Each structure stands twice: as structure tokens, then as C-alpha cells.
Amino acid sequence: MSRERIVSANHQPEDTAGEPTGPTIRPKTLDDYIGQSQLQTRLRIAMTAAKSRQEPTEHLLLHGPPGLGKTTIAHIVAEEMGTKAYVTSGPALTKGADLVGTLTRMQPGDILFIDEIHRLPAAVEEYVYPAMEDFKIDFTLDAGMHARVVTYRLQPFTLIGATTRAGLLTAALRSRFGIAHRLDFYEPSELEQILARASEVLNLNPPDPAALTLIASRSRGTPRVALRLLRRVRDFAQVHQAQCITTELADEALRLEGVDEQGLDDLDRAYLKVIRDVYDGGPAGLEAIAATLGEDSGTLEDVVEPYLLQIGLLARTRQGRQLTSGGQTSLPLLDA
């Protein structure tokens, strides 16, 4: 069973829909980018040094949970360096020719952004190594005793890889990145700034600051979720002909969407209730919980559990999943 989750950090079509001809919410420069201060500092130093040497920026690996701005960073680097960004993903590169076609048309200093780089096929990854190190690719023509290797020189470029599963990267690929950085979840104050900027870009009447605080507190530390919630609240305000977004209106809109004070949605609450009511607080096996909910165990492990673990409501033990003391304290909220 598949459910659309407004609080999912994974990309959804609605995240790029809405204002196709209007201004984009995505920041274009580091000055507009909010949060990830350590990464910003490292990038400023790397880009300034690269510009002074008239070289492309070092290859960059970004890893961390989805929705934190890895794609945005790639576009910002391209903008700051005055070059073009080519965007693709690991699953889309099924054979070497797919990658070679992009590399051969890139100009000096251009950015190649590969999302979900941990899912690159091994055959494609073999082309990536010489391209990253020596800016060249080798073609094998013919076969058998007539086989010969032709080397094609590439323009110097920057590869930016993004992954939510850094542990699945091969050591050979990981070692070829000059800069590797993990993106952290955002603080509520940073999300408030992002929401305030987005409100201006979307031409909304200035919302009540307390309303932005409320939305930020339910956004699970993720800008993508915060912007999605803002769009839902905007639609609710428009239908109810409200002049601006107030705290009461934002709370009513998010409750209608099933998002509570902790940022939990219906699936999160159903998961916790199963452990509480069916398995007496745990421990319980993941497969048993999934069967009770009628959900896929992989969905629960990759989509539901990370946030519950992050906020301390759930614990993974050798015996299975169980509610923490914080989860036990939050039980009355599940029935609200």
C-alpha cells in the first residue's frame, strides 16, 4: 500500500510545481542560502581559491538525509563559478555511453551533479575514475585481437555527488572526492528564515512570525518539508479568503493535513500506536509491525523510523523496535 506523505523528505512532483513561470524559491547564491554554515565556509574558501588559480572547484561529495539542499548546493556552485550545471542521477546512468555523452559536451569548469550516486552501476563507475582524476575517458573499440583503446580528453570539470547512503559508496569512488560533507538537519530558527524568504518570493502578505515558527516546528528539520507545508497553508488561507497567514489558520491547516505538534503524520502515529497497543510498547520485530500495519517493511525502515529515532520516540534493539521513555510520555498526544 502506498501513501502520499506531506512530511516525507523525498522529492515529489509538487515540490517543483506551482509557479513554473514565476520566481523560483531555490536560492541561487551563497548569500541567499540559509543554514549549513560550516559547508558554506568550506565552499567559499574552495571556490575563491579555484577562481584565483583559474581551475574548476574540487570534486564535492554531499551526503545526508533527503530534502536538505544537496541539489541546491550544486546549482549554487555553478552560479558562483559562472558555469553550467548538468543534472542527472545514478539510476539514470545505466551504461557508460550515458555518462560519456554528458561529459563530452561539457565546457571548462562546468558542474556534473549526480544524485543518488551510490546507485551508479559498476560499469559506469569505471568511466568515472579517470574522468575525475585525469579528465579523460578511454573507449575500447572492436573486440578480441583487434581491440584497441582510444583516449578522449575532457575539459576540466567538477563532479558533485549526492547520496543519502554514503556507506554504500565504494571506497575507490569516495576517495576521489576532494571535499566530503554531511548535511545536518536545520534548526527551527533557520527554517523560519527560509519560510520568510519563500513567503516574499511567493508574493504572500507578510505572515504572522508566530505562524512561521509553528510551521518550522512541524517541518522535521527539513527545508523541503517546510516549503511543502507553507504551500498547503497558503492554499488553505486562499480558500478561506484570509488576508494573511495567522497562527490559528496555520494550525488548522496543518491539522487538516494530519500533521501534529511534533511533525508526525498519520502513518507515524499509526506505527507508534501499533507498538503501544498491539505489542505493549515493544520490543517487536519490524516484519511483525509491517504486517500489522499492512505496510512494506522497507518503507517503515527508510521513511518512517528515521525521524522517530531522531526525536527520541523509538529505539532499535536486538530484540526489535520499542518505545523509549520519551515515546511513552508522548502517548497521550497520539490519541488527541
Mean pLDDT in each 10-residue stretch from start to end of the chain (336 residues)? 69 60 75 93 95 94 92 94 94 87 90 94 89 86 71 92 91 93 93 94 90 94 93 92 91 92 89 91 91 90 87 91 83 60
8 Å CB contact between 158 and 112: yes
The three cell numbers of residue 252 are 488548522
Catalytic one of 72, 83, 110, 115: 115
Q: What's the chain's Rg over C-alpha atoms? A: 23
Contact 222, 67 (CB under 8 A): yes
- Residue 235's SS3 state is helix
For the chain, how many helices (H) and strands (E)? 15, 9
Domain ranges across the chain: 36-182, 188-256, 266-334
71 given a catalytic annotation: yes
> CA 120, CA 95: separation in Å to the nearest integer?
9
Of these residues, 218, 224, 228, 321, which one is catalytic? 224
Distances in Å between the Cα of 161 and the Cα atoms of 104, 173, 195 are 18, 10, 27
pLDDT for the residue 1:
38
Give the chain's length.
336
Q: What gap in Å lies between CA 221 and CA 299, rounded to an integer?
A: 20
Q: For residue range 220-278, what is the model confidence (pLDDT) as tens digits? A: 999 999 999 999 999 999 999 888 899 999 999 999 998 998 889 889 999 999 999 89
CA distance 324 to 314: 5
- 266-334 and 188-256 share a CATH fold: no
Is 41 one of the annotated active-site residues of the chain?
no
Would residue 115 show up in a list of annotated catalytic residues for this protein?
A: yes
Q: Which amino acid is at 55?
A: E
**Active-site choice (5, 57, 70, 321):** 70
Q: Is 57 among the catalytic positions?
A: no
Task: Give the architecture-level CATH label for domain 266-334.
Answer: Orthogonal Bundle (1.10)
Nine-digit cell at 209? Answer: 512570525
Give residue-wise pLDDT tens across range 101-134. 889 889 999 999 999 999 999 889 988 999 999 9
The CATH class of the 36-182 domain is alpha beta
- Distance CA(154)–CA(235), nearest Å, equals 48
Centre a 10 Å sphere on the Cβ of residue 220 and count the other Cβ atoms it contains: 27
In this prediction, residue 21 carries a pLDDT of 42
Active site residue 148: no
Q: How far apart are CA 73 and CA 158, in angstroms?
A: 13
**Left if phi > 0, otherwise alpha if psi is -120 to 50, otherwise beta: which for 35?**
left
* Burial (0-12, 13-18, 19+ Cβ within 10 Å), 238: exposed
CATH architecture of 188-256: Orthogonal Bundle (1.10)
